[in-house]
Structure 1
Amino acid sequence: MDKPFLINAAKNLANSNQPAPSTYVSILEFLRIYAGEKSSFYKQVNNFKNSHEHNAALAKMILKGFITFLENGLTDGISIERKAQMDVVSDILEQANQLLDTKGVHSAAACVLIGASLEEFLRNWVEDKNLDLGNLKPGIDTYTKILKEAELITKQDFKDITSWAGLRNHAAHGEWDLVCDKSKISLMLQGVNLFLRKYST
């Protein structure tokens, strides 16, 4: 599937009015095939405990983030491995900002996007530096640990990322009461933006 066709297929899926379970499963399978099982986009959707309506809506938000990666030339063919660029991540964070400003949209949607963007940035940083994960499971916690051990991030960075990852996990696991404060998620967005600017040069 060439990239224009892939983008069009992804947009059609993101705008689909299928029942929530069908939407969720379709997006999960789409991301598994075209983003890859190692991508943060696939992993975020796969981590949802069920396919109820709210998770289907979050899955659509994540799929739209993947579309942004494609549209900004981040990929050749269907692989997004080792090609993350700061400007594209910033575009996705801007989408998260827009979600926070949209009335009626739960802040969990923005939180998941922020977390996915952060994880992509960290993963590609680890790969760019050829850092070995060993037997550790890929994820924000592992990437942060590896970068800290390599003295590429500070102790404060480590604490901040751990806090942001905690919020992302609450959102991904449907713990809505822990991510319902938009001001808290807005601070998360600001912090992640500052972190990425700090280490993107």
Structure 2
Amino acid sequence: MTKEQILKEMDQAIQDVANLPALKSVGSANTVRMIEKLFNIVDRFAPSSSSFRVKADRLRDQDTKMFVGAVIQPLTGLVKSLRDAIAADQLTRIESLIRADTFTDFLSMSEHLLNEGYKDAAAVIAGTVVEQHLRALCNLRSIPTKQPDGVKWKKAELLNQDLAKDGAITSVEQKQITHWLGLRNAAAHGEYEKYAAPQVQLMIESITFFMAQHPA
């Protein structure tokens, strides 16, 4: 899902609120549905640790204690603020910088371990970075990262396939990621003879380039 599509969905929700009958909206079935829609937008598009989520949780708590519809105006205001932040790339910029720094640290750790002769540990850490970055890319494009039961995480290879189907990555990149995940799995399962240190070095360098090409 692109930024433009997200903004379009939010604009439509804000307009739907404006179209609710002013005097009859509180407590109506349409208002209940609209409130759930607005909460869903915040849950999907606001960063997990952001003030938007915190404020939405407070409003959700109020909504269960007060008469139905009492939170629709402040909730709409919250969605408008979130919409403006997304339009200005403020949330993406902050989260991406934090995530990029974290992943870079782990890749540096992986390279250090490789240089010290621990190719297997290096491969596992680099592969974990790939999986986390795939999940971040899916979140960025609103691609589900959990299985239909909503509890178990999707396997990294399935995330890889979903990103390719969505057009976020090319088929060549998809195959490359599959190779990285295969190398990580070999290292994690003790199949050390299936790869050598130079392959892990190339893996780390390629992952670094891929993440630069596809920030999340």
Whether 2:112 is the aligned partner of 1:98: answer: yes
Higher Rg of the two aligned structures = 2
**How far apart are 1:101 and its partner, in Å?**
0.8
Correspondences of 1:54-93 after superposition (within 5 Å): 85-93=99-107
Answer whether contact 1:141 1:165 (CA < 8 A) is retained. yes
Larger relative helix fraction = 2
Instruction: Read off the aligned partner of 2:154 and give its amino acid letter.
Output: P
In the other structure, the counterpart of 1:153 is: 169
In the other structure, the counterpart of 2:130 is: 118
How large is the RMSD of aligned CA atoms in angstroms? Answer: 2.1
In the other structure, the counterpart of 2:140 is: 128
In the other structure, the counterpart of 1:178 is: 194
Q: How far apart, in 1, do the equivalents of 2:103 and 2:110 lie?
A: 11
Q: How far apart, in 2, do the equivalents of 1:145 and 1:87 lie?
A: 26
Instruction: Read off the aligned partner of 1:90 and give its amino acid letter.
Output: T
Which 4+ runs in 1 deviate beyond 3 A? Answer: 133-137
Gaps of 5+ in 1: 1-81
In the other structure, the counterpart of 1:74 is: none
Q: How far apart, in 2, do the equivalents of 1:98 and 1:106 lie?
A: 9
Whether 2:200 is the aligned partner of 1:188: answer: no
Deviations 1:123-171 (A, max 9, x none): 1211222113554961220111110010000011001001111100100
In the other structure, the counterpart of 1:162 is: 178
Answer whether contact 1:111 1:171 (CA < 8 A) is retained. yes
Aligned residues: 117
Correspondences of 1:18-57 after superposition (within 5 Å): none
What's the TM-score, normalizing by structure 2? 0.50
